[in-house]
């Protein structure tokens, strides 16, 4: 039995979990593509490329748009220039601020583990007034490895004072990348079903899934009983 008296640390993915940032990522991608004479991509297409971070995003775009390596580098750099301050088309998913505040008020240490680079991560957290809630932010360029490698989640859990080799923390995310990295550690995974996942929930390892952030505080407390 796992007896844990202190509120458990909860680590969150960002894109597709706390925020719907695909419209901004889509706008930044299309600015970079069209500035370089390429056709714009649809929002659905770009959303399906999100999850592995910026290099994975641009590898997928390069394949889709037949972009050579030198041009890809230029376009990715142009994209980053736009992405660093992109908040205009991003919204928080319903109930996110309320759920985070409930967990913080109950004393859960909160953290972020995202494949989004640190610059745009800081910008968007500040934009939504969420930055003060997170004691640790592990971003896509904070560690040598990115999710689905477990190292970033391991770092976030450790920084919140929990042992990543014991089921002490909880990870909340939306994607295959998140499910895989949680499964590599004994960290229970709560799957937000309205994010950018490409795979049916039944094919992802997770402790529970939810469609509304109103359910999250209850799911986190249920974990404390396991
Ligand atoms: O930026 C991405 O590709 C993914 O970011 P996430 O890890 O917060 O989902
Ligand atoms: Mg995500």
Measuring from each residue's beta carbon to the nearest atom of ligand 1, which residues come in under 6 Å? 13-16, 50-53, 57, 114-116, 147, 175
The pair of three-digit structure tokens given for residue 55, joined into one six-digit string: 């290099």
Q: Which residues surround ligand 2, an ion (CB under 5 A)?
A: 13, 15-16, 174-175
**Same domain (yes/no): 179, 79:** no
One domain for residues 131 and 191: yes
| 8-state DSSP, 94 | T
Q: The tokens of 21 are what?
A: 């940032």
For residue 169, tell me if it sits in a domain: yes
| Active site annotation includes 13 | yes
Question: What span, in angstroms and rounded, lies between the C-alpha atoms of 56 and 124?
Answer: 21
226 residues of the chain, pLDDT tens digit each: 455 568 999 999 999 999 999 999 999 999 999 999 999 999 999 999 999 999 999 999 999 999 999 999 999 999 999 999 999 999 999 999 999 999 999 999 999 999 999 999 999 999 999 999 999 999 999 999 999 999 999 999 999 999 999 999 999 999 999 999 999 999 999 999 999 999 999 999 999 999 999 999 999 999 876 5
What global pTM score does this model have? 0.96
User: Which value does ipTM take for this structure?
Assistant: 0.99
Domain that holds residue 77: 22-83
Ligand 2 center from residue 49 Cα (angstroms): 11
Do 98 and 78 reside in the same domain of the chain? no
Q: Strands 19-20 and 91-92: what pairing? A: antiparallel
> What residues pair up with 192 in beta bridges, in sequence order?
210
62 and 148, same domain (yes or no)? no
CA pair distance 43, 209, nearest whole angstrom = 25
Which residue lies with its CA nearest to atom 9 of ligand 1? 15
Residues 102 and 52 in one domain: no
Ligand nearest to the CA of 16: 2
Using most ligand atoms within 8 A of CB, pick from 52, 83, 178, 179 the residue to mutate for ligand 1.
52
Residues 128 and 184 in one domain: yes
In this structure, the answer to whether residues 98 and 186 fall within a common structural domain is yes
Answer for the pair 67, 61: CB distance below 8 angstroms, yes or no. yes
């Amino acid at each position: 039995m796992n007896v844990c008296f202190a509120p458990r640390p909860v680590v969150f993915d960002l894109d597709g979990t706390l925020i719907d940032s695909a419209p901004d990522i889509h706008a930044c991608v299309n600015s970079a593509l069209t500035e370089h004479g390429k056709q714009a991509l649809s929002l659905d297409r770009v959303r399906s490329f999100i999850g592995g971070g910026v290099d994975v995003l641009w590898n997928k775009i390069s394949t889709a748009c037949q972009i050579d390596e030198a041009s890809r580098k230029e376009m990715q750099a142009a994209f980053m220039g736009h992405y660093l301050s992109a908040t205009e088309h991003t919204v928080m998913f319903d109930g996110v601020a309320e759920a985070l505040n409930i967990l913080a008020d109950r004393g859960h240490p909160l953290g972020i583990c995202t494949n989004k680079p640190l610059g745009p991560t800081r910008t968007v957290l500040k934009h939504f007034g969420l930055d003060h809630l997170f004691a640790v932010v592990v971003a896509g360029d904070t560690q040598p490895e990115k999710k689905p490698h477990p190292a970033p989640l391991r770092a976030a859990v450790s920084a919140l004072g929990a042992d990543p080799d014991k089921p002490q923390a909880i990870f909340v995310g939306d994607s295959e990348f998140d499910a895989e990295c949680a499964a590599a550690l004994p960290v229970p995974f709560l799957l937000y079903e309205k994010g950018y996942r490409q795979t049916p929930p039944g094919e992802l390892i997770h402790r529970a899934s939810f469609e509304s952030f109103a359910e999250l505080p209850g799911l986190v407390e249920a974990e404390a009983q396991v």
